[in-house]
Every structure is written in C-alpha cells, then in structure tokens.
Amino acid sequence: MKTFEAKLSRFDFNHWQNHIPVPDPIAAEMMDGNHRRVLVYLQDRGPFHMALMKAKDYWYLLINQDLIKSLHLEQGISIQVKLEKDNSEFGHEVPEEFEVLLDQDKEGNDFFRTLTPGKQRSLIYLVSKVKNPESRMKKSLAILHHLKVSKGRLDFKQLNEWIKFYNNL
C-alpha cells in the first residue's frame, strides 16, 4: 500500500472536474500493464474502487460529488490518500445477490462474461448502489433476464424497462 498527501483539484475543461492528482512513481507502481484499477482509501475511509486516469501532464483519480460530500472534502485542502492494487475479478465488489445468481444461471453468466470489463462494472455498480437486499435481488434478476433475452447485447433503455418490471413483482 502506498500513502501520500494530495489536494482535491478541478479541471476547467470538462464535466469530470473533481480529481486527486497521483504522483507518477506511485501510479507506475500501481499499474500492471494496462490494468489501472486501484483500491483507494481517503481520510482512512474506503476502500473505494477506482481507476488511475491519465491527463496530459499527470495521473489522477476521479472523485464524484457523493464522495466529496460524504467525506467533507474541499478544494485545496490536503487529503491523506492510500492506494493498493485492485486484484478483484471485476474491479468492483460484487454484491452477494448478483454473485449467487451468476453462480446459478450459466447462460446469464456466460452472457455477462462476454461483456467488456467496463460494462460488467457498470452492471455490478447498478446492483451495488441499492441498499435493500430484496431490491438488489430484483435488479440482479432483471439484468440477467435482459442479457439472456438480448443475447448479451446490453441496451440500457431496455434494461431499465426490465428493472421496472421486476420492481413491480
């Protein structure tokens, strides 16, 4: 694990403004080929699954508004940052409900594994952001049902319709 101090910064040129610069030597040590997923601890809270990103001049971590609010982060104030390599299979913690369904549904699992790693993480995130276990299960069922019906082609508009359907069961 690598520890360093950094300040929350902002880009002027895009909507992904809030970020934490990462020193080049630490970024280089965290990467393994093209694998840039890291576990991030901010102010001794975490881990948060993130990816090292490259700007023209330096490496950084994108920080969303929810994280800024929950950790009371402010622009220009020093933050203690700890990084370690994320060696998890999907670069994100898989909710138990989704994992159980993947284990039980071979066809759905096969379609899920044909998706790009980014799409896999997006679907895992959709399930993990729900706090209620029953709702996580319904969302997991909707995702696997959608993947099977669409033969592995992810269509978020169609997926949202399946999620609404499963939520009303």
Of 25-29, 63-67, 90-94, which has the strongest mean pLDDT?
Answer: 25-29
Q: Which of 132, 116, 9, 117 is nearest to 60 (CA)?
A: 9
pLDDT mean over 89-113: 93
> What is the model's pLDDT at position 14?
62
Average pLDDT on 91-112 reads: 93
pLDDT for residue 47 = 92
Q: Which distant-in-sequence residues (6+ apart) come within 8 Å of 11 by Cβ?
A: 17, 19, 55
- The yes-or-no verdict on residue 113 having pLDDT over 80 is yes
Mean pLDDT for 113-128 is 93
| pLDDT digit string, tens, across residues 135-160 | 999 999 999 999 999 999 999 999 99
Does position 76 have pLDDT exceeding 90, yes or no? Answer: no
Per-residue pLDDT tens digits for 17-36 = 899 999 999 999 998 877 89
Architecture field, domain 2-85: Beta Barrel (2.40)
Mean pLDDT value across the chain:
92
Contact between residue 124 and residue 90 where contact means Cβ atoms under 8 Å apart: yes
Residue 80: predicted pLDDT: 95
Ranges of each domain in the chain: 2-85, 96-167
